[in-house]
Structure 1
Amino acid sequence: MKTSLTIALGSALTLASATSQAFTQPTHKRIVTDAVAYMQAHPDSTNFAKLKAAANAAGYSVAQFADAIGQGAYDVDDFSDTYLCGAVTGDCVQAPVFGVGSFVATYTAWWHFQNHSRSGDVHGNDIPGYNNSQIPVKGTEDSLLATWLVGDHLDDGNGGMTGWCFWWSCAEDSEYNSYGITERNYRLDSYSSKSHYDDFEDAAFQPIDNLGQYWYNEFLKRPTAQTLGFALHTTDLLQPHHTWSTSANHHGGWESWVEDNYDAKNMNDDAAVTSALAAFTPLPAGQNDIRPLLTEGGAISYGLGGIVLSSTSDADRSEVAGIVIPHAIAMTVHVLNHAAERF
């Protein structure tokens, strides 16, 4: 039955209808569907036969199955699972105020980075996630965020960290225990303290490879198209702004350009994807940790895509897109090859 490919998320998260700071949602979905299409075109060198068998057993065509996985990758930007609480007001919200919503639609975006300009973080991760105080090339929006959100803390539930206290009360309006649920989920093989999230301007968020591994673990427990798709949102690691860890530097303009020019620039070129596959170390059959593979993708975008932080020229963007999109598709193929053994 098709229902076997969906999962009830329960209290783990809820979904909203906003977009977030990442490859655009249609691009995320397109990368996944193009990866499945590549596998279908190359059944002898990919695990397409097993992927097709899983789809057919669930009552899906290959195209429908690809669409379902791609929708999961799309949906991660809609998670309503991260709230920041005002330092003074104590009001906890899931999206920025004071006019910054044009480039950060919801705070769930902060789990979608891996800062390749540094090594190690306070959690014990080998490569850190988003931390506004550690952005290597800070732009205007990055500075505005640190100013507007100064002292704001991650929502940690009723009775946790609070806004300013007065003799009659402490201002707090917890909406969702983001520290106890979202952060805990992404706290894989690492350590966290609430003090790591008590001031936005130097809060150390978990990196996106931990997000991807959490959802891949959920997929392994109960293989579904949805959880596999959630894990594949990690193609953000091929978006250079996410490995240079900046909300600024033409972040939104670049992502919109990629979506608008995806077909015109033939970003899913078959030969380019074939070549990109060799840039990754295939996941061993007995290994369930996909983070080394994901980090390889991040290293590619960090090392080869930085020009789009400063240049908006069509030529520069075309050159970078011709690298990072085929590699994003190739990374997805590697994950799907591994996942096909688990259905």
Structure 2
Amino acid sequence: MKRMLIGLLAVACVCPAAHAFKQETHRRLVEDAVAYMQAHPQTTGYADLQAVASAAGYTVAQFAQVLGQGAYDVDDFQDTYFCGAITGDCVYAPVFNAGSSLVNYTSYWHFQNHTRGPDVHGNDLGGYNYDKLTVSGDIDDLASTWLVGDYLDDGPGGMTGWWSNDDSEYDTYGITEANYRQGTTSSKSMYDDFEEMPFQPLDNLAQYWYDQFLANPTAQSLGYALHATDVVQPHHVWTTSALHHSGWEGWVADYYDSEDLNDETLVTQALSSYTAPAGGTTDIRPLLTQGGDIAYANGALVLSSTDHSDRVQVARVVVPHAIALVVHLLGHASAQLTQ
């Protein structure tokens, strides 16, 4: 084994936290991916995963739980503060409580916009940017109205409210945005008005945590990277906080078992939809974009319809593909540490 993973333990996040798939769904996607690997050891790199878990003192079942908890926890990060244009008051969540699809402002890093091309940072596909939305709805519009002129907290970096007052709580620009920049370029002026903020895309978030895992392996950081399954949630690639966003996610959680959304046969089929990263590369973003392509091509119906049969049709595509995405990511990550 390349290195024994003595440090592969779940530790409390001292960094900072959104909603796409419901948090329990994120946990289930990871746990079901591990169960699939265990049931198909010859085709999924399960032996490497088992070795990684064992070296860290986990059973495979325990490892799956810790990974799933990490994927769950990303929606609770408190790492993104917006400051009021007038008051300079900086907060991490909307006081207007627009709905469960917008719980914390960190959720704005959880999109990969497939309706447009490159963004101003230089990403092939950008993230959430209200000014560039192709589809939008009530929650998007409410946020843009409530947050008009609000700016991203940059710590002591110089941005302030209208009256030069600022009660910075967290250097979001210097920490969160910088972490998710991933080789692209940014400036503070990009983040001085909410309605034009070009948030970094979800795949950059996942890449950051994946790199953290490879540099200093912990089950928690790998679990954070596995929150990347948001890229297979249609609203996150069509890019809107509205249009039945929250209702769809709740429906997936409610019918996950009764509609057999994790059907093993469908996961097997979904695995072949991806081209897994080569063993020598650590860039997982092309794989994530493939997942986004699948959601974009197959998921638009749930932005306009709440019909149960329509949702089943979409879910039996995107959920197995989300599980398959995790299988590929876990196989690749485990191989990086054991080969």
Range of TM-score over shorter length: over 0.9
Report the Cα distance in structure 1 between the residues aligned to 2:250 and 2:214, rounded to whole angstroms: 33
Structure 1 counterpart of 2:117, from 116, 119, 122: 119
Structure 1 counterpart of 2:142, from 141, 144, 147: 144
> Which TM-score applies when normalising by structure 2?
0.95
Structure 2 counterpart of 1:73, from 54, 68, 71: 71
Report the Cα distance in structure 1 between the residues aligned to 2:273 and 2:100, rounded to whole angstroms: 35
Contact 1:157 1:180 in 2 (8 A): yes
- Paired residue for 1:301? 295
Deviation string 1:39-94 (CA, Å, 9 cap, x unpaired) is 00000111101111221222211110101111111111111100000011110000
Deviation string 1:80-128 (CA, Å, 9 cap, x unpaired) is 1000000111100000122325431100000000000000111000000
Contact 1:6 1:225 in 2 (8 A): yes
- Paired residue for 1:156? 154
Contact 1:241 1:309 in 2 (8 A): yes
- What SS does structure 1 have at the residue aligned with 2:266? helix
Contact 2:99 2:139 in 1 (8 A): no
User: Cα distance, 1:134 vs. partner?
Assistant: 1.4
- Paired residue for 2:16? 14
* Matching of residues 304-315 of structure 1 within 5 Å: 304-315=298-309
- Determine if the alignment matches structure 1 residue 317 to structure 2 residue 311: yes
* Matching of residues 171-186 of structure 1 within 5 Å: 171-186=165-180
Structure 1 counterpart of 2:212, from 214, 218, 222: 218
Provide the aligned C-alpha RMSD in A. Answer: 1.3
- What SS does structure 2 have at the residue aligned with 1:31? helix
Q: Which amino acid counterpart does residue 196 of structure 2 have in structure 1? A: D
Report the Cα distance in structure 1 between the residues aligned to 2:121 and 2:148, rounded to whole angstroms: 21
Report the Cα distance in structure 2 between the residues aligned to 1:57 and 1:35, rounded to whole angstroms: 20
Contact 1:186 1:214 in 2 (8 A): yes
- Paired residue for 2:265? 271
Report the Cα distance in structure 2 between the residues aligned to 1:99 and 1:287, rounded to whole angstroms: 42
User: Cα distance, 1:21 vs. partner?
Assistant: 2.1
Structure 2 counterpart of 1:284, from 273, 278, 294: 278
Q: Which amino acid counterpart does residue 32 of structure 2 have in structure 1? A: D
Q: Which deviates the most, 201-210 or 219-228? A: 219-228
Q: Which deviates the most, 1-10 or 275-284? A: 1-10
- Paired residue for 1:327? 321
Work out the percentage of aligned pairs sharing the same amino acid.
Answer: 60
- Determine if the alignment matches structure 1 residue 244 to structure 2 residue 248: no
User: Cα distance, 1:158 vs. partner?
Assistant: 2.1
Report the Cα distance in structure 2 between the residues aligned to 1:47 and 1:103, rounded to whole angstroms: 35
Q: Which amino acid counterpart does residue 239 of structure 1 have in structure 2? A: Q
Contact 2:136 2:242 in 1 (8 A): yes
Report the Cα distance in structure 2 between the residues aligned to 1:66 and 1:98, rounded to whole angstroms: 36
Runs (5+) with no aligned partner, structure 1: none
- What SS does structure 2 have at the residue aligned with 1:103? coil
- Paired residue for 1:107? 105
**7 and 221 in structure 1: CA distance in 2 versus 1, 3 angstrom threshold:** farther
- Paired residue for 1:233? 227
Q: Which amino acid counterpart does residue 237 of structure 2 have in structure 1? A: T
Q: Which amino acid counterpart does residue 67 of structure 2 have in structure 1? A: I
User: Cα distance, 1:140 vs. partner?
Assistant: 1.2
Structure 1 counterpart of 2:194, from 192, 200, 223: 200
User: Cα distance, 1:342 vs. partner?
Assistant: 2.8
- Paired residue for 1:4? 8
- What SS does structure 2 have at the residue aligned with 1:99? coil
Deviation string 1:151-188 (CA, Å, 9 cap, x unpaired) is 000000124211112xxxx2211000000000000001
> Which TM-score applies when normalising by structure 1?
0.94
**174 and 123 in structure 1: CA distance in 2 versus 1, 3 angstrom threshold:** same
Report the Cα distance in structure 2 between the residues aligned to 1:263 and 1:227, rounded to whole angstroms: 28
Contact 1:112 1:242 in 2 (8 A): yes
- What SS does structure 1 have at the residue aligned with 2:114? coil
Report the Cα distance in structure 2 between the residues aligned to 1:2 and 1:67, rounded to whole angstroms: 18
Deviation string 1:11-59 (CA, Å, 9 cap, x unpaired) is xx136xxxx3210000001000000000000001111011112212222
